[in-house]
Structure formats: C-alpha cells, structure tokens
Amino acid sequence: MRPWKAALVIATLGLVTTATAGGSALAGLDGSDPDRTHRLGDATVDTPLEVDAEQAESAAHDEQHGGVGGHLPASSKNMKLVGKLAVSGAVGADKPGHIADVTSFGNYAYLSARRLNTSPCGAGGFYTVDISDPTNPTEVGFTAFPPGSYPGEGMHVITVNTPSFKGDVLLANNENCGSSAERVGGMSLYDVTDPTAITLLALGKGDTNNGALARARQIHSVFGWQAGKRAFAIIVDNEEVTDVDIMEITDPRNPVHIKEVSILDWPDAQAPLANGESIFLHDMVVKRVGTQWRALLSYWDAGWIVLNVNDPANPVFVNDSDYPVPDPLLGFDPPEGNAHQGEYSYNNKYIIGTDEDFSPDRLSFQITSGPNAGFYGGGQFGWTVPISASNPFEGSTVWGGSGCEEDVDGNGVSDRAEVPSQASTGADVVVFTRGVCFFSKKVESGQLAGYDQVIVMQSHGGTRNGLTPNGFTCGSQGNAFVVTASAICIGHRAGHLLFGDTP
C-alpha cells in the first residue's frame, strides 16, 4: 500500500490544506440506475427541483441572503420603477419567496405563486394583474392549483389559432410538495382570452410513461409555440433522464405527448462539461430562426443546446456551446457552468444566457504527489463544519465503505459497524462512497468512528455509467444529529485515483 499526498483548495479564499492518502480497493457500491430516472431527493443534484433545494440550503447558511447589506450594487441603467404591487397572498414568513415567475400579455401580467405561505406545503397558483396603467397595477384575481401543486418558472402565454381552438392560452408547470392525492404534475393550460374570466383547458398533462403512471411527472418549465396550423409545448421533465418532453397542443383541451429526448441522444453535446458535470435541462425557449423553428435548451454544465424542431416529433441536434477554458471571470479550470436560462437576441445573431451559482466558494481537490498528482473537482457540504484557515482539512485517509446503517455488502453486518475506527487506524480522514443512504448518514458514521473529516466520493451509477466521471454532489442533510465534522464531496474518478485504483 503506497501512500501519497492529497490537498484541498478553496479557490475563492485561497486556502490550501494537505492530506496523506493510503491505498485501498474501492469495492462494493455501484448505484447504477437501470430505469434511467432522476430520483428526486436521492441527494444527487440532477434536476431543477434539487437545484432549488440546494439554493435554499445555501441561503440557510447565509451564502445568499435578504436585507440590504452585503450585496453587490444593483444595476438600473435605462430603467425606472414606475409602479409596484403587493399581491394579497404575499404575507408572513414566506413573503420573500412567494412569487416564482411573471409573464405579461397585452394589458395583463400573470404571477406564479409557489405555496401561498402555508409552508411546508400548500396550494399554489397564479395572480392576474391589470397593468393597463403601469403606475397603478391592480390585482384582478387568483387562480388556485390543486392542493400540493404549485407553479415555478416558465409561465407563458401564447395565442393559439388552430381548427380546434382560437384564443389566448396560458401554460404553467406543476411541481409538488407533500403527498396530497389531488396533486398533479405535467403542465396545465388555461384560456385567458378574457383575463377576468379565466377557464381551465387541461390539468396536469405531460409524460405518464405511456399511461403507466397515475399522474404525469413533475415539470420545472414549459414553453409553447404555434407553427402553421399546429401548436406545441416543450417541457422540462424533473423525474427522468430523458428530460426534454414535447407535447402537441393543437387542441389545448387535449394535449398529446409526442416525443422525449435528452443529452444522451446528442454525443456532440456531452463533452466538455463544466465544473461538477451536472447535466439536466433547466429551461428552454423556441423561436423561428430563418426557415427553422429552433429550441434553445439551457442544459446546466453542458451549456446551451440548439435543436431544429421543424418536426417536433423528430427534433434534430444543430449545435451546442462550450464554456470557455479557463473561466473568463476568475480563471478557473474547469469553468463554473450552470446554464440556467437563455434567449435569442432580437436579430437571432446571438444567444444571451445566464448562469446560476449558489456559493461564494469553490473547492478543488488536489493530489500533490504520486502518479495521479493533479487537481480534481470537489465541493463542501453546506451543513457540516466549514473549512477555513483555522479549520483546515488535512491528514491521512482510510477507506470506509458505504458508511450506511444497512448491510450493503451482504455479509450480515451493518456497514456502519465495519467503518474502521480512527483509534485503530490513526487516519484523519475517512472516505465513503455515495449511495443507498443519505450523505448525512455517512458523515454521522464517520463521526461515530471518531473522525472529524469525511470525504464522500461519487458512485459509478452517479456518473451516469461513466458519462460524468468528474461529477460530484454535496447533498442536503437528510437526518438529524449533532454535526461536528467537516465534509467534502469528490468525483468518482478522483476517488479511485486517490487510492491508486483505475477508475
């Protein structure tokens, strides 16, 4: 067993700490995902819903915060506030996060409301606001969603003029909280031709796995368009790796699911990937560019992807963007990524995109000696003891297995009981693999074995069977216990190389 050194770097703070790694075989947990689903709440941040949860986790630790202090100055060039409105449901502790999105159409605006201040779970919906006098916006009404359902991003209004329907249609997504039997997924469509008398056209329509699911899968965003005598909608599937779903809404009372695709269908978009290698659809727009209807997909660490959707049932890959190396703002390699939203410029010559980042810190795992010396990606758990100049992350390492209470290796003994104690090994850092149980269960196992520093490496299944070998995920805390350890997450490849194994 040959030891070599490893180091951690939090780049934005310039802190460097060192560790010594001992070799060991990384056997046991695979975590492969044969049904190709995104599992909500599995501590792998690979859906927009889990990104939102990570954002909330960052906010809870003051990385994002309200109030007037500690923020970069806002920009308001060529803009002037002329009117504002406090909607009727925006009260109490949930007021700052009450409105998730806004769209306008004619003299009316529609504001998506998430949970109506009944956290942890209530009925969402949208407000209709008369903006004919921008200096005096007026709330017209509120349209409630079924209990346990709420809209998020991507609320959108289009005019539909087909043989089946003529009028203005609002499209909204459905995400869920709680387990109400009335909750819905998919998208919902409303007739807003008369904004003072809105009627429901279709409720919770989306991907039901050919009817095998009781309700459509949750979606994060929706965008509609009409091409000729037909109309369509493209939606973000939160719960499946094939996360680009296309619906025909020529008859908006009867949407039909016609196609599902994903980055797995576009090899040219699969590399290079940005830091963390999280790849999922977050948002999209569709616009006619020349002779083509083009869908612009914001695909997180893959960047932006363009599809030709002239035939929406058979979308064709056109091109994709790559984040520049090094990152043009801070010089990071790999660049930060996180393609969140995008729009075409008015003349279609440019794409204007926005990234979303939740942390002011960036941690990089480094092996400093031996055949695998180099930098590797990593992250710090937001709910463990922070790494700092006064609390460095360093020392010798030992392999700890899964770290779960379950008997994952099938030998009749809890894996937690098999974690070698710090007293017996003399090591300072215990390394676990992701899978089966919460990240927090693994950190708790490390603490119980006497360690105050824990590493969780990505499983093979978490790499989408090798597509994202450098991807890492620091999930949220899933069980309650007194946290006394610092913990980081690293990629599957880095975990193997740390112990001298072939990834």
20, pLDDT greater than 50: no
What confidence score (pLDDT) does residue 39 get?
Answer: 57
What confidence score (pLDDT) does residue 50 get?
Answer: 65
Quote the CA–CA distance of 325 and 275 in Å, as a whole number. 11
Per CATH, the number for 94-355 is 2.120.10.10
330, pLDDT greater than 50: yes
Quote the CA–CA distance of 388 and 288 in Å, as a whole number. 51
Q: What is the mean pLDDT of residues 206-214?
A: 95
Instruction: Please check whether residue 275 is in contact with residue 332, taking contact to mean a CB–CB distance below 8 angstroms.
Output: yes
What confidence score (pLDDT) does residue 22 get?
Answer: 40
Which tokens hold the place of 259? 């196609």
Q: What is the pLDDT of residues 171-192, one digit of tens each?
A: 999 999 888 899 999 999 999 9
pLDDT bucket at 64, cuts 50 / 70 / 90: low
What is the arrangement of strands in the sheet containing 230-237, beginning at the earlier edge strand? 219-227, 230-237, 244-248, 256-261
331, pLDDT greater than 90: no
Q: What is the pLDDT of residues 218-234, one digit of tens each?
A: 999 999 999 999 999 99
Quote the CA–CA distance of 402 and 28 in Å, as a whole number. 8
The predicted model scores a pTM of: 0.84
Report, at the CATH architecture level, how domain 4-61+360-498 is classified. 3-Layer(bba) Sandwich (3.50)
Q: Count Cβ atoms within 10 A of the Cβ of residue 373 and give its class: 0-12 exposed, 13-18 middle, 19 or more buried.
A: middle
Nearest alpha carbon to residue 475 among 464, 461, 462 = 462
427, pLDDT greater than 90: yes
Helices (H) and strands (E) in the chain, counts: 4, 28
- CATH 2.120.10.10 positions along the chain are 94-355
- CATH 3.50.30.30 positions along the chain are 4-61+360-498
What confidence score (pLDDT) does residue 57 get?
Answer: 52
Q: Could you count the other beta carbons within 10 Å of the beta carbon of residue 478?
A: 14
Cis omega (within 30 of 0) on the bond before 163?
no
> What rounded mean pLDDT belongs to the chain?
86
Long-range interactions of 290-295: CB distance < 8 A, separation 24+: 290/348, 292/318, 293/225, 293/227, 294/318, 294/344, 295/234
